[in-house]
């Protein structure tokens, strides 16, 4: 596997574009994106588990149910959530507008929105600019970049990746983009992510690949404990690579799933690093658990702890907060067998052994925790299960950003 350029336009047969149509009057950035396949795609998707779902979620869930899509239209600046029947009608209208422009069925279009909740979506500005959106489509890096900019909100860094693998002697590509900075917590999907591939793969196998990959990536991401009303991840596969169709449990399935998981983990780490106001990427890894699920539960509890996150911001080696967070995770472990190590580019230091403090240098610990990427490594010595969860520190700027988000 090798990384390549092009994002969602790297796989054969895909185009993307983005424009500014003025959805949020105070913003001058691009705010409307389109991703399109020249041929019909097998598709799979996962959506927020929040009971409060935006109109776009309802429309996309229905449209992807048959495992087929050809386009994704997405806007930023307005979540179109908690806007009643008008919001659902606007989401349906978005699908129809893009379908009419592309000459495809509205049922083959996914719809996504992100931004402020509870404000009616100005569908009229989208309607006026749908022609310009279609004209912006490109099958290259420019098309991908324009679409990516158009889905970003409080993001300060681009989240994008493309990889190339070989299946059945054919070159297969996977391209992706994502947005996510705040209102992020493990519960699928915690952001917007759009993935394209030219692999030939059956809808059921694609769905299985996506769910397995999400379990070990996006569902192990936390920034602030809030699961959004609009979260979704969509993958479209058009088969243009010419490989034999990938079936579940085959060797090619494992190759493709590993590549997809790699893509999802990379995007997950990018989002954790770009958490609103964050200064550090924090990786929490639990080893020695009875199962992977146990390790995941313990690691999530630590990564989600506001006190642990604040300690990471202050570079304070307060390992007691780590054990405290593990203790209310609801997962089985023996505190008296637990060890904690802090790691970064600056080195590593053991701060807890057998559930008790050990002599360590506070100065060295502070140096280690002052790096932009830090790891909290926990060994509970109870089995072979392990899992990593990604998060960030909690800073003053998080409150500043979210204190006036609507303005």
Q: What is the pLDDT of residues 105-162, one digit of tens each?
A: 999 999 999 998 999 999 999 999 999 999 999 999 999 999 999 999 889 899 999 9
Dihedral angle of Cα 109, 126, 55, 102, to the nearest 10 degrees: -10
Which residue in this structure is represented by tokens 């994002």?
7
Give ranges for CATH 3.60.70.12 in the chain. 2-273
Q: How many CB atoms lie within 10 A of CB 262?
A: 18
CA–CA gap between residue 353 and residue 346 (Å, rounded): 21
Structure tokens at 133: 């959106």
Q: What is the value of pTM for the model shown?
A: 0.92
362: pLDDT strictly greater than 60: yes
- Planar angle of CA 336, 338, 339, nearest 5 degrees: 130
Domain covering 281-403 assigned CATH 3.30.930.10 in the classification: no
CA–CA gap between residue 256 and residue 64 (Å, rounded): 21
Q: How many angstroms separate the first and last alpha carbons of the chain?
A: 44
CA–CA gap between residue 54 and residue 51 (Å, rounded): 10
Phi-psi region of 198 (alpha: psi -120 to 50; beta: other; left: phi over 0): alpha
CA–CA gap between residue 308 and residue 286 (Å, rounded): 15
- 242 phi and psi angles, rounded to 5 deg: 85, 10
Give ranges for CATH 3.10.20.340 in the chain. 281-403
Percentage, residues of the chain above pLDDT 70: 97
309: pLDDT strictly greater than 60: yes
329: pLDDT strictly greater than 90: yes
Structure tokens at 10: 């790297």
CA–CA gap between residue 26 and residue 248 (Å, rounded): 48
Kindly indicate the confidence band of residue 50, based on its pLDDT and cuts at 50, 70 and 90: confident
Residues with Cβ within 8 Å of 251's Cβ and at least 6 positions away in sequence, in order, are: none
- 201 phi and psi angles, rounded to 5 deg: -155, 135
Active site residues: 190
CATH of span 2-273 = 3.60.70.12
CA–CA gap between residue 322 and residue 299 (Å, rounded): 9
pLDDT at 222: 86
The percent helix, strand, coil of the chain (3-state, each to 5) is 35, 30, 35
């Amino acid at each position: 596997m090798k990384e390549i350029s092009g994002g969602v336009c790297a796989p054969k047969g895909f185009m993307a574009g983005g424009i500014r149509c003025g959805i949020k009057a105070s913003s001058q950035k691009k705010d409307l994106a389109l991703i399109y396949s020249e041929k019909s795609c097998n598709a799979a998707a996962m959506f927020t588990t929040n009971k409060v779902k935006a109109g776009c979620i309802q429309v996309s869930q229905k449209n992807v149910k048959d495992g087929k899509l050809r386009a994704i239209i997405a806007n930023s600046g307005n979540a179109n959530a908690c806007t009643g029947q008008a919001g659902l009608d606007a989401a349906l209208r978005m699908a129809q507008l893009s379908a009419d422009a592309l000459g495809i069925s509205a049922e083959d279009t996914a719809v996504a929105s992100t931004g402020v909740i509870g404000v009616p979506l100005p569908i009229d500005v989208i309607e006026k600019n749908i022609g310009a959106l279609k004209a912006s489509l490109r099958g290259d890096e420019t098309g991908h970049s324009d679409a990516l900019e158009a889905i970003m909100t409080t993001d300060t860094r681009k989240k994008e990746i493309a990889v190339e693998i070989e299946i059945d002697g054919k070159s297969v590509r996977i391209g992706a983009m994502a947005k996510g900075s705040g209102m992020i917590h493990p519960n699928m999907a915690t952001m917007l992510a759009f993935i394209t591939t030219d692999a030939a793969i059956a809808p059921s196998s694609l769905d299985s690949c996506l769910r397995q990959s999400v379990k070990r990536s996006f569902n192990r991401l936390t920034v602030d404990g809030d699961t959004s009303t609009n979260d979704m991840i969509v993958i479209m596969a058009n088969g243009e690579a010419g490989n034999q169709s990938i079936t579940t449990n085959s060797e090619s399935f494992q190759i493709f799933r590993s590549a997809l998981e790699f893509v999802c983990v990379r995007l997950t780490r990018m989002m954790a690093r770009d958490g609103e106001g964050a200064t550090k990427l924090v990786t929490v890894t639990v080893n020695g658990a009875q199962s992977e699920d146990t390790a995941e539960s313990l690691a999530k509890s630590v990564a989600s702890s506001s006190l642990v996150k604040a300690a990471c911001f202050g570079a304070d080696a307060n390992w007691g907060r780590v054990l405290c967070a593990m203790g209310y995770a609801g997962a089985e472990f023996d505190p008296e067998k637990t060890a904690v190590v802090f790691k970064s580019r600056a080195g590593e230091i053991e701060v807890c052994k057998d559930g008790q403090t050990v002599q360590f240098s506070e100065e060295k610990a502070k140096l280690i925790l002052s790096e932009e990427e830090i790891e909290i490594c926990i060994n509970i010595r109870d089995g072979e299960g392990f899992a990593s969860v990604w998060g960030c520190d909690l800073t003053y700027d998080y409150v500043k950003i979210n204190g006036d988000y609507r303005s």
